[in-house]
Amino acid sequence: MTLIGVIDYDMGNLHSACKGLEKAGATAQVTDRAQDLEKADAVVLPGVGAFDPAMEHLRSRDLIPVIKDIIASGKPFLGICLGLQILFDASEEGQSPGLGIIPGRVRRFRPEPGITIPHMGWNQLMLTHSHLPLWQHLPLNPWVYFVHSYYVDPVDPTVTAATITHGTQTITAAIAQDNLMAVQFHPEKSSTAGLQILANFVQHIQACVPV
């Protein structure tokens, strides 16, 4: 069975993400041990909370070089919510440098009439990489669930795999670069579309792992 290492760094409840992966047919192992993550067929970096504490928790567990090595190795890797944001260079939310894997910054939504910050609730994805494994078997412009006040702003727009519009602002909602995929929304809270995305990730892992 497909083994997915879910990185435990004290940032959010990991239960719902693991449950979604297990529904998709994988075994999810919550761990902060480098050996476990290296043995897994794929790795998920979830997260809820603030940028600086997230980086501090990763640093205190010596997980930063582990994450970078796993992504560089070509192993399938999925970031979720805060797990997307910390892949970037820095954030307007704090002072700590991010992982620096994707060039760019994390920015706060601009206040404007008629929008709420945080952006909380359902929004419709505009898929920009229709061939991405995560997007297979989805309806056109699926609805998914968000909770965030900050969004990623990549230097290279070609890494953007989906966008959303909040007020007048169109922002990156997902990125993809080689084996690395990450989403701002919560697939585990996004009903049928979210479960399909997690199932797609599991199927992608199975296609990548040698028989």
Query: Other CB atoms closer than 10 Å to residue 82's CB: what's the count?
Result: 26
Tell me the C-alpha distance between 140 and 166, whole Å: 19
Q: Are 18 and 6 in contact (CB under 8 A)?
A: yes
Among all residues, which ones are annotated catalytic?
Answer: 81, 186, 188
Which distant-in-sequence residues (6+ apart) come within 8 Å of 183 by Cβ? Answer: 78, 79, 80, 81, 84, 134, 144, 162, 173, 174, 197
